[in-house]
Copies of this chain bind each other. A is one copy, B any other.
Amino acid sequence: MSESAPAWVVPAALTPGASIRVVAPSGPFDARLVWRGLGWLRQRYEVRFDRGMFETRGYLAGDDPRREGELAAALLEPGVSAVICARGGYGASRFAHRLDWTTLRTSPRWLVGFSDVTALHVEAAAVRVSSWHAPNVTALGQGNAEAREAFVDALEHPRRVRSFAGLDPMFAGRAVGPLFGGNLTLLHACAAAGRLRVPPGAVLFLEDVTEQPYRLDRMLTTLLVGGHLEAVSGVVLGEFTDCRPGRDGVTVEAVLRELLAGLGKPVASGLPCGHGLTNVPLLFGARATLTVEPNRVALGFEPPSTRID
Q: Using CB atoms and an 8 Å cutoff, list the residues of chain A in contact with chain B.
A: 28, 56, 58-59, 89-90, 93-94, 97, 188-195, 213-215, 217-219, 221-223, 225-228, 246, 248-250, 254
Q: Nearest chain-B residue to A255 (Cβ)? A: B58
Q: Across the interface, which residues of B come within 8 angstroms of A90, CB to CB?
A: 214-215, 217-218
**A58 B250 Cβ-Cβ under 8 A:** yes
A-B residue pairs, 5 tightest by C-beta: A58-B250, A193-B222, A191-B192, A193-B225, A194-B226
A89 to B213 CA separation, bound complex (whole angstroms): 13
Partner of A192, one of B28, B59, B94, B219: B219
A191 to B191 CA separation, bound complex (whole angstroms): 8
Partner of A93, one of B193, B218, B228: B218
CB distance from A221 to the nearest CB of B (A): 5
Partner of A226, one of B193, B225, B250: B193
Q: Could you list 16 further interchain pairs (A-B, Cβ under 8 angstroms) beyond the known A188-B192, A193-B225, A193-B226?
A: A28-B248, A56-B248, A58-B250, A59-B246, A59-B250, A90-B217, A94-B221, A188-B189, A189-B219, A192-B192, A192-B219, A192-B228, A193-B221, A193-B222, A193-B223, A194-B226
CB distance from A119 to the nearest CB of B (A): 9
**A222 B58 Cβ-Cβ under 8 A:** no
**A225 B58 Cβ-Cβ under 8 A:** no
